Structure 1
């Protein structure tokens, strides 16, 4: 399942789960093998207190656990040496709850990945016989083990680690692992693309990343600047006009059944200068290589579904452009005509994401008549002010779709918080010379969502604002520092749950 591919215009290769600090090689077993160098014991507080775990009958192990002060507190890890026939034993605290949520288990797996990376372990046994959702912990381990070092002059190869995972039901655990590893591959792709600098990731090279998924059975279409102009996509064309690297509309469809498709639409600004409303914060503009994280999440979701051979029909549309300054760039005050026919007065060239998304949403409705549509974008700084990186913003007036997304968010560990969306915001986007302005005057996140709503038509639709969620400023949980791939787990979960 570890797929390698390369882009013609990139001098580096982006590969699956091989880009990690450690490269675990898994084997699922239903009984503990002979002691090897490292044993991992996931333990609840009651296991430690009552000695219920079978291995806790070993008096030496019990003595060392007591000496280490390990109580099973959630998220704690203690390391013991030369006990129970093992060179080292890692104690992983699971807390005192009888049922552990999947996202919590994944976070504990992330902590375990750090501990294994720091150790010299070559052969690891994880005793998960008392943990029904063991593959979720392994999923977190894989997500945290990721690293992006292709651009370093002396990148180290990941250390291979043989991992025996002992579970009560091997067949079920292997099946869950395969599905979750497909999701992890999608997350890795999204992270890779988001981490790349703008010189290496252009609208065209992003399109080539999508074309590489054809080998998985994904149907890929790329509309170049001529096709975009011919279709009347004046908003997408205008945003990309200032760059020597022209815009693209990338469509990737995984058709696992014959139902009307679900559509996911991603913002793909490969670099955002702000245009003539130039960004002036030096730290902020450096992060604008990640302004295509929404599109990356869409492509990662399509890959995850394809690797699972999921029985769903999902089409991803990624509006790719580079927002640059030149004599050809669009200007504040310009009026653009979108493919839907609505005209937009440009009150800020730094509100470009909603423009490219507008034409992509129109195309999704026109060509695919989706039964539901979700867009995902690093769209507004005001969303960060409201929710930080703790939640992504969810905007929708469709209660059924909202409920489904909130449920998927809870299950996937990628949290959403619903923010207001209503026609009360219409006045903020009223223009004297066009149908719409592209910015409001006060409520930035909600007015941006209301703008996008004008291009959703009658299709059940939701907008996800992931500004602040696309990058992690420090290592935490399942996320190493850098691109998070936020949205892949959420959108994959949502897609698989739709009737």
Structure 2
């Protein structure tokens, strides 16, 4: 069933994002449908012995005439014979079998879904039983469904006539029980992705720090412990940076903590930047970029979505998401350029630019994660800098860490789920010097993404730490591969893969 978000800020998170985007059935035989999808691996001839003589003959003739080579992602459409159970047949290229991994199959599933939906195919039959690759047939089938479901998601709450077209998939696999089991975990991760997309796509007046906190509370039904700290408590704890950024908004800042304790090991802390709207404060943003600033809380959305995915999966991990939430607005109460804020770490920060606020909320959130959870590893996720986009664009996120093992693990995890990362250096800490405070919130030169990451390093302590800058990855205007238009949920799949692969 096509998922169309129908939520307002509070109920948004759990009720809607738990719905399916498309219907999938794993079967042990081919069923009737509007379209039949078959596969060809490279130039190796496919026998199609599971089809009747006339259909086989028609497909093979079309392949020969079109000089179809079975290259990865290429497709060939064939009109089915008159007496066929299908209206059309789609031949999909797999490329080289030994290179057909989970990431490639998820992307293939996404683009196949886009093609079938574009042709208004209600029932698609997928002849998948003979597909081989770098992983099992069951895992490949599950990834095909995963990619299709990720692409099918829509957020159309504000449209008069949202798209409700639905594709039902009947997938003929070698082992339907194994395929269904493999897809179950991916389905749980999808729900975490959909939550992150919901939260990111919602309009800023309906997704304030208060609304985000209420949405997070919905995860308690899955066994997640949720704690919310309001401005008075933030002041009491000395969290002057987080509290200060939210002063310009009516409701002020929040610290939202969501803890899934799947085992008794030392927790992993995921820290998310949650600026629900970023005007830039008194260093106000100019130009068209401001209309995308509802997505400045995508880091918080990603880590909350990851906790949901782990809780639904009943994963054997202990993970806590700590999210610094604020709306960076302009008012008589807003912090001003030149102000000095005192962080809970005890480090004073001269605010030279109020539009460099994400690192401020993260500084106190990182301190809280270390102080109250003593994590083994801490990873922060943030739409932090335009400099990151200038450095690596929006096809990669940027990672920063002195921990080579963490860098290697996150790099592999990103590759496995089509969320690639690129390592950038830490350094230039000398450029954060301030004559009036311990550090300034922006560098006096140097690469902006690096000076921002180096600012955060002050608050990592002795904890193993990695920073992920997802600026440019969080929101998109057009669909591509597994990503529909709108909030992308970037980071949920990567972090989920990492947590499940590198269990404590």
1:339 aligned residue: 344
* Equivalent position to 1:152, from 152, 159, 171: 159
Residues 4 and 13, structure 1, Cα contact 8 Å, conserved in 2: no
Taking the aligned partners of 1:216 and 1:11, their CA distance within structure 2 comes to 16
Shift of 1:6: 5.7
2:457 aligned residue: 453
Q: Deviations over 1:125-180 (max 9, x none)?
A: 11111232121111110111111101112224x23433211111222211110111
CA 393–12 in structure 1, closer or farther in 2 if over 3 Å, else same: closer
Q: Deviations over 1:330-353 (max 9, x none)?
A: 011111000110000011100000
1:361 aligned residue: 366
Taking the aligned partners of 1:361 and 1:89, their CA distance within structure 2 comes to 53
2:125 aligned residue: 125
2:272 aligned residue: 266
SS at match of 1:177: helix
Answer with 91-100 or 101-110: which moved more.
Answer: 91-100
CA RMSD of aligned residues (A): 2.1
2:16 aligned residue: 15
Residues 4 and 157, structure 2, Cα contact 8 Å, conserved in 1: no
Residues 351 and 441, structure 2, Cα contact 8 Å, conserved in 1: yes
* Equivalent position to 1:319, from 316, 320, 324: 324
SS at match of 1:124: strand
TM-score by length of 2: 0.93
Q: Deviations over 1:381-411 (max 9, x none)?
A: 0100000012100100011211211121121
* Structure 2 residue ranges without an equivalent (≥5): 132-136
Shift of 1:249: 0.6
Taking the aligned partners of 1:183 and 1:3, their CA distance within structure 2 comes to 18
* Equivalent position to 1:255, from 236, 261, 273: 261
Taking the aligned partners of 1:302 and 1:13, their CA distance within structure 2 comes to 12
SS at match of 2:22: strand
Taking the aligned partners of 1:228 and 1:37, their CA distance within structure 2 comes to 58
Q: Deviations over 1:332-384 (max 9, x none)?
A: 11110001100000111000000000000000001000000000000000100
Taking the aligned partners of 2:9 and 2:449, their CA distance within structure 1 comes to 37
Q: Deviations over 1:243-299 (max 9, x none)?
A: 113111111111111101100000000000111111111x10001110000001011
Provide the aligned length of Structure 1 versus Structure 2. Answer: 489
SS at match of 2:364: helix
Taking the aligned partners of 2:238 and 2:375, their CA distance within structure 1 comes to 21
CA 8–414 in structure 1, closer or farther in 2 if over 3 Å, else same: closer
Shift of 1:120: 2.9
Matches within 5 A, 1:281-300: 281=287, 283-300=288-305
TM-score by length of 1: 0.93
2:45 aligned residue: 50
1:405 aligned residue: 410
* Structure 1 residue ranges without an equivalent (≥5): none
1:486 and 2:502 matched:
no
